[in-house]
Amino acid sequence: MKLESPNALAQAMRQFFADHLPRVRGMSPHTLHSYRDTFKLLLRFASSQKKQDVTLLGLDDIGPNEVLGFLQHLEDDRHNTPATRNVRLSAIHSFFRYLATGHPEQIEQCQRVLSIPFKRAHTRSVEYLEYHEVEAVLAAIDRAATRGRRDYVLFATMFNTGARVQEILDLRPRDLQLDKPFHARLVGKGRKERLCPLLPATAELLRAFLSEQGIESNSRERLFRNYRGEPLTRFGVRYILAKYCNRAKQGTPTLGAKRLHPHSMRHSTAVNLLQAGVDLTTIAHWLGLRVPR
């Protein structure tokens, strides 16, 4: 016989997503979406295993055995990497830590779920672009086209700031200071803000882009958008970068041997700053990293 009614799970999940994560933990919308996706998959899996509707699932229906089965399902059926599996498990751990405080009668179940270890994942070295390769990618963009001019400004700003792709996607015109001293206000992990210097050439590109798009400098709308007028996504940026890298590798063959993605631009900025003689402390501040001791 179940210790809790099915509504107990629904109530705990609602409080977890509506109050605990955004208000108590202060998590970003991006992290909330990642957690939400994890539980969509987990609930579907549990529903399939228990052969009952998702709305009838209770707290006892998602225990350590179900979680272990779900993790195996991710790797075997969805072909997720150990790194992705660990991201999903981290979200599940977070929920069960929260659950233990509100449902002490479930604490043994919570402890057993929390004891499920992360899997050691092989970490690949992140590729980066040498300066001449960055120039080749930028030169491959057709700036005669409206979309090409957007792409040029996007990648020039990414390379200048070394911003995480989500930081660039969240950039609003009001976050830009395009009169001296030029800088962009970036919101990073944990909603930490930093001011990142902009090169005069980057500031001029951004000024021209705002003017061409008819965007007010104090606008709160996201700066970079797709052809439908919707904010660009991480997948969109990845697709655009791959397109220009593929085009540029014809004249710069070294690009063809590299596995590049938007985060590569961030590493490229760090490496090029280091090669230019910038000290590690300044680079850490520039990228929004913990200052090395």
Name the strands in the sheet holding 183-187, side by side, starting at the edge strand that comes first in the sequence. Answer: 176-177, 183-187, 193-197
The neighbour count for residue 2, using CB atoms within 10 Å, is 10
- Residue 222 bears catalytic tag: no
Distances from the Cα of 182 to the Cαs of 175, 176, 185, in angstroms?
11, 8, 10
SS3 192: coil
CA atoms of 175 and 183, how far apart (whole Å): 9
Q: Which of 266, 267, 285, 293 is catalytic?
A: 266
Q: Which of 164, 174, 222, 249 is catalytic?
A: 164
Of the candidates 173, 174, 172, 136, the one whose C-alpha atom is nearest the C-alpha of residue 155 is 136
- Residue 263 bears catalytic tag: yes
- Please say whether the beta carbons of 267 and 126 come within 8 A: yes
- Please say whether the beta carbons of 261 and 238 come within 8 A: yes
Q: Which runs of consecutive H residues, i.e. helices, occur in 57-145?
A: 64-76, 82-102, 107-114, 131-139
- Residue 189 bears catalytic tag: yes
Q: Which of 185, 263, 267, 285 is catalytic?
A: 263
- Please say whether the beta carbons of 222 and 171 come within 8 A: yes
- Please say whether the beta carbons of 151 and 143 come within 8 A: no
Active site residues: 164, 189, 263, 266
